[in-house]
């Protein structure tokens, strides 16, 4: 029991007993006192889920139920039965001479609790729990690398681990964190951790293969075996080589040599992703520590074994056999590097090399790369020049291209960047092959610059502050690719580059998590560090700005979840009906209504519609929703609880089926504007579009809804990504199956 001096007088026992519950303010805490049987309990009045006042909840059989999303708590301990909600804080109570005294001494170790919550959020893939844990931890002064480590350990155990997008996003977010505004750092962590959780969701646990039972096999043998196993696509043999090498003491440089050599044994593996994932795995270990190497690096083996090899693709073989050109060049690589070794630092051909790489002759490209090495070009610098050429493909990408081709240019750029970082770890002749692959990919991408978009030249005429104000506005509108490029270039003429990086980072984090955009921005930031203050540095950030603008705005639904977490952390109220409120929007309409009306005739159709509207009103009221309007055979209602909206939709569909009507429903959660008796806002529009994408009898929901009902027992089936008419971006939709 806490020392008596921490107790304060809260109320008279009679007052609590006579009313059953009593809300008090004590030292800045809103505390609700409950009388239950012989006991009196004191509970934080703020529901830990989203802040609803618990003095408005229900108490039955010792269980306190919050009325917003139905989280249930054991009144005595505060423990929740619903992990998405968290335990509610209870205060020790003493009854002294007819008075209730409560102990308000601080909860022990907030950080340890929130780390546990983060783990739980990852395990159950509940973005709101992840966001709340990260926001609380960082505002309590926790080092972001601690949350990063928790994500890395969790992500290494499930799903594709380091061989998946989530792991790479997680590391990208950590990499860009130093340039972000302090307020954006938790958001970056939240994006990365949510991506890890999504990759792991539903995946079986991964058990790392034990190392070979020999004490110290020679590293050269393990490296050779690893390459052979990858060659024959034997994932388990390859994994065992990795675990044995790490367990027997191979260091980060040796492991980089082993992995990046195999990653460049074949051409442009999986459109560059293998080298990219491997690079990010090493960067993650730089942050979290080498003790995680066995778990992280071993998880790459399967991706290596299953990778697509570009020598098997038509584009690399016809009409010009690029692989033949490359194999011939690789034969000359060791001697070219060796003959340039004595002249390192004297090479001055970067500009003409970039021009050649952007040219039309693959044989000339291979020749110019070899010649640069002979003249003393450092392999890392060679990779830097090719990466810059790849960035120019994005900077010159005309918007008349196919939208999906942004990804083609992006893959080459991030691959080239990853090869350069790999060479910093292991500058071997084998890994230099990756530079040649990148250059050939730049060559193959030449059709993406026909005609080339103009790369803006800054003239210093714009006030940098005005540019920083305009930049987020540009990203609020679609098709502002060239405008974004101009603003970036103008700003860098006389603005502080660090502030531009922070602004681009902020713009990235506002959008829904998009693997490729995150990769593009992170790689551009990485390249910019080498090119700061030069026109090339400007071009690299122009490329990032253009890519970002091409992929914005999205619906920013992930940002909304994050906003809830920050507002809760600040102690704001989310449940009040202000001008803008958070609500779950339910749209339903009758399938085939025109045909039914024609078949029934006017009078019978009118009667049927009246029955339908009655049953809808009853079910909405029963599920504590708000009927907004009927428009023809369509119907809109709002709810302050996502689960109740889904249950209501299911009940209405079933009741309508019994009177011979087939319905479909769409549900979305977002901020709406209250306008008289009606509602408005993009979230309402989204709900309507989701409904029109639903199959007859389906309740279709957005990813935001999915995030809100995680752990509630509602089962969802992924129905893939959809475009919703009049709504930007792509939407992942889910059908309710139970």
Which residues make up the interface to ligand FES (CB under 6 A)? 47, 49-52, 66, 68-69, 71, 85
Return the number of the residue (44 or 234) whose C-beta is nearest ligand FES: 44
C-beta of residue 490 within 8 angstroms of C-beta of residue 459:
yes
Round to whole Å and give the CA distance between 55 and 402. 56
Tell me how far, at minimum, the Cβ of 670 lies from ligand FES, in Å.
16
Return the number of the residue (67 or 350) whose C-beta is nearest ligand FES: 67
What H or E segment, with its residue span, contains residue 83? none
Round to whole Å and give the CA distance between 169 and 193. 9
Tell me how far, at minimum, the Cβ of 717 lies from ligand FES, in Å.
25
Round to whole Å and give the CA distance between 226 and 321. 28
Return the number of the residue (66 or 173) whose C-beta is nearest ligand FES: 66
Q: What are phi and psi of 697, to 5 degrees?
A: 85, -5
Round to whole Å and give the CA distance between 674 and 626. 12
Q: Tokens standing for 436? A: 């040649």
Return the number of the residue (56 or 145) whose C-beta is nearest ligand FES: 56
Return the number of the residue (71 or 326) whose C-beta is nearest ligand FES: 71
Nearest to 484 by CA among 468, 505, 495, 460: 468
Tell me how far, at minimum, the Cβ of 224 lies from ligand FES, in Å.
58
Return the number of the residue (65 or 650) whose C-beta is nearest ligand FES: 65
Tell me how far, at minimum, the Cβ of 722 lies from ligand FES, in Å.
28
Grouping H, G, I as helix, E, B as strand and the rest as coil, residue 719 is: strand
Between the two ends of the chain, the Cα-to-Cα distance in Å is 45
Strand duo 90-91 + 39-44: pairing: antiparallel
Tell me how far, at minimum, the Cβ of 613 lies from ligand FES, in Å.
30
What H or E segment, with its residue span, contains residue 663? strand 663-675
Tell me how far, at minimum, the Cβ of 83 lies from ligand FES, in Å.
12
Return the number of the residue (460 or 571) whose C-beta is nearest ligand FES: 571
C-beta of residue 670 within 8 angstroms of C-beta of residue 557:
yes
- For residue 64, the number of C-alpha atoms closer than 13 Å in the C-beta half-sphere is 35
Round to whole Å and give the CA distance between 668 and 685. 9
Q: Tokens standing for 619? A: 């079910």
Peptide bond just before 553 cis, omega within 30 deg: yes
- For residue 498, the number of C-alpha atoms closer than 13 Å in the C-beta half-sphere is 5
Round to whole Å and give the CA distance between 514 and 584. 24
Return the number of the residue (68 or 731) whose C-beta is nearest ligand FES: 68
Tell me how far, at minimum, the Cβ of 575 lies from ligand FES, in Å.
7
Return the number of the residue (304 or 564) whose C-beta is nearest ligand FES: 564
Tell me how far, at minimum, the Cβ of 84 lies from ligand FES, in Å.
8
Return the number of the residue (133 or 275) whose C-beta is nearest ligand FES: 133
Nearest to 619 by CA among 665, 663, 651: 651
Tell me how far, at minimum, the Cβ of 586 lies from ligand FES, in Å.
18
Tell me how far, at minimum, the Cβ of 501 lies from ligand FES, in Å.
37
């Amino acid at each position: 029991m806490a020392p008596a001096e921490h107790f304060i007088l809260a109320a008279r026992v009679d007052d609590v007993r006579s009313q059953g519950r009593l809300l008090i303010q004590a030292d800045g805490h809103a505390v609700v006192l409950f009388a239950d049987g012989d006991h009196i309990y004191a509970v934080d009045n703020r529901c830990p889920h989203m802040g609803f006042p618990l003095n408005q909840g229900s108490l039955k059989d010792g269980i306190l139920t919050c009325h917003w999303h139905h989280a249930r708590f054991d009144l005595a301990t505060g423990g929740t039965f619903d992990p998405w909600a968290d335990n509610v804080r209870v205060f020790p109570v003493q009854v002294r001479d007819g008075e209730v005294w409560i102990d308000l001494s601080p909860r022990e170790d907030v950080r340890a609790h929130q780390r546990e919550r983060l783990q739980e959020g990852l395990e159950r893939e509940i973005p709101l729990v992840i966001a709340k844990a990260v926001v609380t931890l960082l505002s309590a002064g926790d080092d972001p690398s601690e949350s990063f480590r928790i994500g890395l350990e969790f992500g290494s155990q499930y799903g594709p681990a380091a061989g998946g997008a989530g792991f790479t996003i997680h590391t990208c977010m950590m990499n860009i964190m130093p340039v972000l505004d302090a307020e954006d750092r938790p958001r970056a962590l939240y994006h990365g951790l949510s991506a890890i959780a999504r990759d792991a969701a539903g995946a079986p646990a991964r058990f790392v293969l034990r190392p070979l039972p020999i004490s110290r096999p020679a590293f050269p043998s393990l490296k050779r075996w690893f390459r052979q196993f990858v060659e024959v696509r034997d994932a388990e043999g390859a994994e065992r080589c990795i675990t044995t090498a790490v367990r027997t003491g191979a260091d980060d440089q040796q492991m980089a040599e082993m992995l990046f050599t195999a990653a460049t044994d074949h051409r442009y593996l999986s459109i560059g992703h293998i080298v990219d994932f491997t690079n990010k795995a090493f960067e993650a270990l730089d942050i979290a520590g080498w003790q995680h190497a066995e778990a992280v690096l071993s998880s790459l083996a399967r991706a290596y074994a299953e990778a697509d090899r570009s020598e098997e693709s038509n584009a690399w073989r016809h009409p010009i056999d690029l692989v033949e050109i490359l194999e011939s060049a690789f034969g000359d690589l060791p001697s070219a590097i060796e003959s340039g070794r004595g002249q390192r630092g004297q090479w001055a051909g970067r500009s003409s090399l970039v021009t050649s790489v952007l040219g039309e002759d693959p044989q000339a490209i291979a020749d110019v790369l070899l010649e640069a090495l002979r003249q003393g070009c450092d392999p890392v610098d060679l990779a830097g020049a090719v990466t810059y050429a790849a960035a120019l493909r994005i900077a010159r990408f005309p918007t008349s291209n196919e939208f999906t081709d942004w990804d083609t240019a992006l893959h080459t750029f991030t691959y080239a960047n990853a090869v350069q970082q790999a060479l910093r770890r292991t500058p071997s002749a084998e890994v230099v092959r990756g530079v040649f692959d990148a250059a050939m990919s730049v060559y193959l991408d030449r059709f993406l610059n026909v005609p080339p978009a103009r790369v803006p030249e800054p003239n210093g005429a714009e006030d940098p502050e005005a540019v920083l104000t305009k930049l987020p506005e540009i990203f609020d509108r679609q098709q502002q690719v060239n405008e974004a490029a101009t603003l970036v270039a103008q700003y860098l003429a006389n603005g502080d580059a660090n502030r531009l990086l922070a602004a681009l980072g902020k713009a990235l984090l506002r959008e829904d998590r998009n693997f490729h955009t995150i990769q593009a921005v992170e790689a551009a930031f990485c390249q910019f560090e080498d090119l700061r203050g030069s026109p090339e540095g400007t071009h690299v950030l122009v490329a990032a700005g253009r890519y970002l603008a091409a992929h914005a705005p999205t619906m920013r639904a992930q940002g909304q979840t994050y906003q809830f977490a920050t507002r809760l952390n600040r102690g704001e109220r989310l449940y009040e009906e202000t001008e803008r409120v958070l609500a779950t929007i339910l749209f339903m309409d009758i399938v085939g209504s025109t045909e039914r009306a024609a078949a029934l005739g006017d009078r019978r159709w009118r009667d049927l519609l009246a029955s339908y509207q009655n049953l809808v009103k009853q079910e909405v009221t029963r599920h504590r929703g708000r009927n907004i309007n009927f428009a023809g055979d369509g119907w809109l209602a709002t709810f302050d609880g996502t689960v109740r909206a889904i249950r209501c939709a299911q009940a209405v569909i079933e009741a309508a089926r019994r009177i011979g009507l087939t319905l479909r429903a769409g549900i979305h959660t977002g901020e709406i504007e209250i306008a008289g008796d009606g509602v408005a806002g993009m979230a309402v529009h989204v709900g309507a579009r989701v409904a029109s994408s639903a199959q007859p009898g389906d309740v279709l929901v957005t990813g935001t809804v999915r995030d809100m009902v995680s752990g509630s027992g509602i089962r969802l089936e992924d129905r893939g990504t959809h475009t919703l008419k009049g709504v930007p971006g792509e939407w992942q939709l889910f059908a309710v199956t139970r």
